[in-house]
C-alpha cells in the first residue's frame, strides 16, 4: 500500500482502484458473461442477472423495452442486443425521441419526399427505413407525442413505412428496441401513452439496475474510466484514499454511471494526483462525509445517541434559555420550535422548566 501526505503532513491511506478478479478466480459462467459483454462494466449480481437476460433474448426478433434511469446506459444495452442478434450484420440506427420537436422527430423517423415542406429539397429516407435489415433503437420513447405514437404503431403492425408527402408505402424489416426512464403503465393510465403501443413495445423487458443498487461495481467502473482516459491522455493514475472510496460508495448517484464518469473526468481534467474526500463534488461531500465536529463530539461524549441528545441539544437549550432570561416563548422562537415542544424536550432531558 502506498501512502500520501496531506497538506498538514498527515499520512493518509490511499489505494488505486482494485482490478477485477483474475479469470481463473471467477466462476465459469460469471467469466463467460463478462467476456461476452465487455461494454457493460461490473461484476455485481444485479448486473450479471441483466447480462444473462440480454444473452437469452438477443437471438429473438421480438421487440424489447429497456427500462432504466438516466445515465444507466440504455443505448449500450441496445447495442449489445444488436451485436449478439442474427441481425448483427445489418445496421443499428439509434436516436433519442427527446431531442427533437414533434414535427422534426416525425421527419427524422419517417423521412420525407421532395417538396413535402419548406426546406425539403430532395427525397430523404427516415431512420426507420435506414434500419431495414437491422435494429432500430429509440431512446426516451415515452417523450413521443400521440400522433407519432399512432404512426409508429402502424409501422409495427403492417411492417411498412410511408414518407411525409408520399402516398407510397415501403416495406421495412427491422427489430425495434425502445428505451425509457418513464413509467409507461402510469402514462397509459393518465392518457399520455397508447396502451396498444405499449403492449407492442413491451414484449421483452430488460430493466437496468441503477448504480446505487450495484455499489460493488463502483470501483471497477472507476478503474475502467481512469485506465481508458490515462491511456488516451498519457497521464498517470491518481491515487484514491479510503475516505474518498467510502464517499463514492455512499453517494446515491442520481445520474448513475454517467455521473460517475463525469466525476472521474473532472479529476483528470484538473490534473489531480491524489483523490481524497475533500476534492469530490460538493453535493457528494455534503451528503456522504460527516461534519468535522462529528469526531470531536464522539471523542468527548461517546456514541450513545440518547446521551448525546441530552448533553448537546439539552445544553444548547439551557444556554438559549439563560440568554433569554428563562423566557420560554422567546427561547422557543430562537430555537425554531413550538413552546409545547420545548416543554416536552425539557421534561425528556430532566431539565428544570424553571
User: In this predicted structure, which of 27-31, 63-67, 283-287 has the lowest mean pLDDT?
Assistant: 283-287
Mean pLDDT of 8-30: 54
| Last residue of one domain, picked from the residues 180, 209, 238 | 209
pLDDT at 290: 60
Q: Are residues 265 and 154 in the same domain?
A: no
Q: Are residues 83 and 176 in the same domain?
A: yes
Q: Is residue 11 part of a domain?
A: no
Coil, helix or strand for 343?
A: helix
Q: Are residues 57 and 188 in the same domain?
A: yes
Where residue 331 falls among pLDDT bands split at 50, 70, 90? confident
b/e string for 62-92 if b means 16 or more Cβ within 10 A? ebbbbbbbebbbbbbbbbbbbbbbebeebbb
Please tell me the distance from the alpha carbon of residue 10 to that of residue 120, in angstroms, as a whole number. 67
Instruction: Give the count of domains, the chain.
Output: 3
Q: For residue 164, give the DSSP letter.
A: B
Nearest to 174 by CA among 337, 27, 294, 62: 62
Name the one residue in this structure whose C-alpha cell is 491515487. Answer: 239
Q: pLDDT digit string (tens) for 70-127?
A: 999 999 999 999 999 999 999 999 999 999 999 899 999 998 888 778 777 788 899 9
pLDDT over 70 (residue 259): yes
CB atoms inside a 10 Å sphere around CB 37? 21
Q: pLDDT digit string (tens) for 137-158?
A: 999 999 999 999 999 999 999 9
pLDDT at 69: 97
Q: Three-class SS string for 84-130?
A: CCCCCCCCEEEEECCCCCHHHHHHHHHEECCCCCCCCCCCEECHHHH
Q: Are residues 195 and 226 in the same domain?
A: no
Please tell me the distance from the alpha carbon of residue 237 to that of residue 19, in angstroms, as a whole number. 13
Mean pLDDT of 319-331: 88
pLDDT over 90 (residue 236): no
Q: Which phi and psi (to 5°) does residue 136 adopt?
A: -110, 120
* Domain span at 326: 293-348
Q: Are residues 298 and 334 in the same domain?
A: yes
Q: Are residues 54 and 202 in the same domain?
A: yes
Amino acid at each position: 500500500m502506498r501512502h500520501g501526505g496531506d497538506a498538514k503532513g498527515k499520512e493518509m491511506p490511499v489505494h488505486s482502484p482494485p482490478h477485477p478478479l483474475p479469470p481463473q478466480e471467477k466462476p465459469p459462467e460469471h467469466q463467460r458473461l463478462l467476456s461476452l459483454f465487455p461494454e457493460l462494466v461490473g461484476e455485481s449480481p444485479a448486473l450479471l442477472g441483466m447480462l444473462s437476460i440480454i444473452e437469452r433474448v438477443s437471438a429473438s426478433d421480438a421487440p424489447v423495452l429497456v427500462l432504466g434511469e438516466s445515465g444507466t446506459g440504455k443505448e449500450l444495452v441496445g447495442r449489445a442486443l444488436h451485436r449478439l442478434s442474427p441481425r448483427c450484420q445489418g445496421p443499428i440506427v439509434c436516436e433519442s425521441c427527446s431531442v427533437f420537436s414533434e414535427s422534426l422527430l416525425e421527419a427524422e423517423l419517417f423521412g420525407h419526399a421532395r417538396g413535402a415542406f419548406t426546406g425539403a429539397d430532395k427525397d430523404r429516407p427516415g431512420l426507420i427505413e435506414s434500419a431495414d435489415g437491422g435494429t432500430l433503437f429509440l431512446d426516451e420513447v415515452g417523450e413521443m407525442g400521440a400522433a407519432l405514437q399512432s404512426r409508429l404503431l402502424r409501422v409495427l403492425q403492417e411492417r411498412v413505412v410511408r414518407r411525409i408527402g408520399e402516398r407510397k408505402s415501403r416495406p421495412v424489416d427491422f427489430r425495434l428496441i425502445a428505451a425509457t426512464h418513464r413509467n409507461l403503465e402510469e402514462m397509459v393510465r393518465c392518457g399520455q401513452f397508447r396502451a396498444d403501443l405499449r403492449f407492442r413495445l413491451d414484449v421483452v423487458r430488460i430493466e437496468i439496475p441503477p448504480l446505487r443498487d450495484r455499489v460493488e461495481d463502483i470501483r471497477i467502473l472507476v478503474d475502467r474510466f481512469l485506465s481508458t482516459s490515462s491511456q488516451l491522455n498519457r497521464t498517470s493514475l491518481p491515487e484514491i484514499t479510503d475516505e474518498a472510496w467510502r464517499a463514492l460508495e455512499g453517494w446515491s448517484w442520481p445520474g448513475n454511471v454517467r455521473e460517475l464518469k463525469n466525476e472521474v473526468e473532472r479529476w483528470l481534467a484538473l490534473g489531480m494526483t491524489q483523490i481524497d474526500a475533500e476534492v469530490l463534488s460538493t453535493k457528494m461531500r455534503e451528503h456522504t462525509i460527516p461534519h468535522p465536529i462529528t469526531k470531536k463530539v464522539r471523542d468527548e461524549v461517546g456514541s450513545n445517541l440518547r446521551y448525546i441528545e441530552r448533553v448537546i441539544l439539552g445544553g444548547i437549550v439551557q444556554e438559549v434559555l439563560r440568554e433569554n432570561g428563562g423566557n420560554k416563548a422567546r427561547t422557543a422562537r430562537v430555537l425554531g420550535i413550538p413552546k409545547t415542544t420545548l416543554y416536552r424536550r425539557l421534561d425528556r432531558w430532566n431539565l428544570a422548566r424553571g
